[in-house]
């Protein structure tokens, strides 16, 4: 039953990919196709990265309404990026090879994120408190980001705006190769950790009782999450609620929290929603840049719904 649904999801993902590639294909076909293939690869990566990182993050924190970006991780990435420019001097840093730069940024995020989140997880804070803190961290990092941006270039009024919403239309294809390595590696690691994830979802006491080294596993998983967040944020920018939308959808579709099913389902849902949505927006709704905002809107509504319904039961 669940396997049939996974197959159906895979078919949906494939269909949306084909639609993305083929609809309205004209002019220099080889050229357009190559361009679209690159973009498709990027979108698929983003979908997979956000979906997997959200599922893992929810499992680790034991909460279905948390996502890495609700906790401010993508804002942290942008802040880390700006911090590097600020500390290392604009010109020198910017002239570095983008792949090298990206690798450095991924590592900076991993360090910052584990420095921020591990103490919170260790203190076993009330989940609401953690959520709220995360949201405020997000605002704080976004403000720090624009502050640093202004310090570096006082005339750059555009940064604050670009930092707030993802743009799926202007994908950074120059980072694609390296990002692909990170995404695939992380996906493989997540897949191999699927049984550990099942145990971790039972909570620290039960997991320790079952012989899982809680602290080590959680640290490792958070590093994995950080790397994936870095990939998606670097490619398209911050997305607050997309992961939530995808994880909630996937869980409803496969009706299980077992990661052997949930992880692939979430990844496929992520691809379908993102690639399918982008196709729709490119060919249906005129304004292709708006998908990010629309996803925010609906993702936010899902969040509110989960919050109000979840707290009543």
Partner 1 sequence: MTAALSTSSWRAKAAAGLGLAALFAVSLAVGVSPLPPGRVLSDPDALQLLLVSRLPRTLAAVLSGAGLAIAGLIMQTLSRNRFVEPATAGTAQSAELGILLVTLFFPAASLPVKTLLAAGAALAGTSVFLATAQRLPPAQPYLVPLFGIVYGGVIGAAATYAAWQADLLQFLSVWTNGDFSGVLRGRYELLWIAALMVAAAFLVADRLTIMALGREASIGLGIDYARMMQIGLVIVSVITALSVVVVGMIPFVGLAVPNIVSRLMGDNVRGTLGWVAAGGAGLVLACDIAGRLIRYPYEIPVGTVMGVAGGAIFLWLLFRRGGHG
Cα-Cα-Cα-Cα dihedral sign, residues 59, 60, 66, 69: negative
Shorter beta-carbon distance to partner 1: residue 14 or 306: 306
State in angstroms the smallest separation of the CB of 145 from partner 1: 9
State in angstroms the smallest separation of the CB of 137 from partner 1: 7
Shorter beta-carbon distance to partner 1: residue 95 or 155: 155
Q: How many CB atoms lie within 10 A of CB 104?
A: 16
Whole-angstrom Cα distance, residue 310 to residue 66? 13
State in angstroms the smallest separation of the CB of 106 from partner 1: 25
Using CB under 8 A, list all residues that contact partner 1: 125-126, 128-129, 131-133, 135-137, 139-140, 142-144, 146-147, 150-151, 154-155, 160-161, 164-165, 240-241, 287, 289-290, 293-294, 296-297, 300-301, 303-304, 307-308, 311-312
State in angstroms the smallest separation of the CB of 73 from partner 1: 16
Give yes or no for a contact between 40 and 275, defined as CB atoms under 8 angstroms apart.
yes
Place of tokens 């270039």: 153
Beta-carbon contacts of residue 81 (< 8 Å; ≥ 6 apart) = 105, 108
Q: Nearest Cα to 162, choosing from 146, 179, 150? A: 146
Coil, strand, or helix at residue 224?
helix
Beta-carbon contacts of residue 38 (< 8 Å; ≥ 6 apart) = 171, 173, 176
Shorter beta-carbon distance to partner 1: residue 3 or 126: 126
Shorter beta-carbon distance to partner 1: residue 102 or 165: 165
State in angstroms the smallest separation of the CB of 12 from partner 1: 25
Whole-angstrom Cα distance, residue 9 to residue 11? 5
Shorter beta-carbon distance to partner 1: residue 18 or 301: 301
């Amino acid at each position: 039953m669940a396997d049939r649904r996974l197959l159906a999801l895979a078919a949906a993902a494939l269909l949306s990919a084909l639609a993305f590639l083929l609809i309205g294909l004209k002019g220099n076909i080889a050229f357009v196709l190559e361009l679209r293939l690159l973009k498709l690869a990027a979108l698929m990566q983003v979908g997979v990265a956000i979906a997997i990182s959200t599922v893992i993050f929810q499992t680790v924190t034991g909460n279905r309404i948390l996502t890495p970006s609700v906790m401010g991780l993508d804002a942290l990435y942008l802040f880390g990026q700006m911090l590097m420019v600020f500390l290392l001097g604009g010109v020198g840093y910017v002239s570095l090879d983008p792949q090298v730069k990206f690798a450095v940024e991924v590592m900076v995020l991993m360090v910052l994120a584990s420095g921020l989140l591990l103490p919170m997880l260790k203190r076993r804070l009330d989940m609401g408190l953690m959520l709220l803190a995360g949201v405020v961290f997000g605002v704080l990092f976004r403000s720090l980001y624009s502050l640093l941006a202004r310090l570096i270039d006082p005339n750059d009024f555009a940064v604050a705006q670009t930092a707030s919403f993802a743009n799926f239309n202007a994908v950074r294809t120059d980072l694609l190769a390296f990002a692909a390595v990170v995404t695939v590696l992380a996906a493989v690691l997540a897949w191999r950790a699927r049984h550990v994830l099942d145990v971790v979802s039972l909570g620290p006491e039960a997991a320790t009782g079952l012989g899982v080294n809680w602290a080590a596993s959680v640290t490792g998983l958070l590093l994995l999450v950080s790397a994936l967040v870095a990939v998606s944020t670097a490619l398209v920018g911050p997305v607050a609620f997309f992961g939530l939308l995808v994880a909630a959808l996937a869980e409803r579709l496969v009706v299980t929290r077992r990661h052997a099913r949930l992880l692939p389902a979430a990844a496929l849902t992520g691809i379908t929603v993102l690639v399918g949505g982008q196709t729709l927006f490119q060919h249906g709704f005129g304004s292709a840049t708006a998908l990010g905002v629309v996803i925010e809107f609906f993702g936010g509504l899902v969040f509110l719904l989960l919050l109000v319904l979840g707290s009543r039961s």
